[in-house]
Amino acid sequence: MNAYAALTRAAYKASVRDATTVFFTFAFPLVFLLVFGLIFQGREVDDTGWNYIDYIAPGVLSWGVANAALFTISFTLMQWRNDDILRLIRMTPAPLWSVIASRYVVAQVVGVLQAVLFIGVALLPVFGLHLSDRWPLALPVLILGVTAFLALGLIVGSRTNTPEAVAAVANCIIVPMAFISGSFFPLDMMPGWLQGISQALPLRYVNDGIAVAIAGRGDMTEYGVACAALVGYTVLFGAIGARTFRWSNQT
């Protein structure tokens, strides 16, 4: 078995070993869907003709997928470094890319499964999501979104040394970003200056791309901009992550 296959297998086992973590990875976005779906059930966004669920569901899904990708890679790198697993890997012929790629495949599978479960629940009559004919376009955005937030998680995981630090830093990043990016309520409800700030945040473009794909809200120009922006953020975060990566806490 080559290094990449062995690391991927280890990453998979680590991901499914803790049943509680697996459960909440999939359940957490559904909790928000339940809360917002019941609060705004049957209501429309003023002067748009859109149901609130068509606004909220793409954003909550985007946040859930991004949140899982960011936390998973951050905790894994921190734990592997603290347990000297990364140092041991460094002493083998395994390249750095194989370490990252092993987590990448698992994170992409988790992201797709999250999306399938979430959309399936959102389509139930109690929530009433109207699925667009463009729904297959959600897959490229999901892949790009997970990739961008994995790259961001590479930075967080490389600069934190404890689970508490990972949780604090990651939450300080993802929670404000979710609100400012429009994951939990329409961007039109925010002041203009906050809408401007949202254009500098990667989660905004995951939201936009998913909204075009599954809710049909927006056009293909917005979709193309969202995909291009996520590619740019991946390159940026990946470059920073490569420079800040640490094999051990002593380096």
* Local confidence pLDDT in tens for the 251 residues of the chain: 455 566 666 666 665 566 666 666 777 788 888 888 777 776 666 666 667 788 888 889 999 999 989 988 888 888 888 887 777 777 776 666 676 777 788 888 888 888 999 999 888 888 878 888 899 999 999 999 999 999 999 999 988 889 899 999 999 999 999 989 888 877 777 788 888 888 999 999 999 999 999 988 878 999 999 999 999 999 999 999 888 888 777 76
What digits encode the pLDDT tens for the residues 52-76? 788 888 889 999 999 989 988 888 8
The three-state (H, E, C) secondary structure of the chain, written as one string: CCHHHHHHHHHHHHHHHCHHHHHHHHHHHHHHHHHHHHHCCCCECCCCCCEHHHHHHHHHHHHHHHHHHHHHHHHHHHHHHHCCHHHHHHCCCCCHHHHHHHHHHHHHHHHHHHHHHHHHHHCCCCCCCCCCCCHHHHHHHHHHHHHHHHHHHHHHHHHCCCHHHHHHHHHHHHHHHHHHCCCCCCHHHCCHHHHHHHCCCHHHHHHHHHHHHHHCCCCHHHHHHHHHHHHHHHHHHHHHHHHHCCCCCCC
What digits encode the pLDDT tens for the residues 177-197? 998 988 887 777 778 888 888
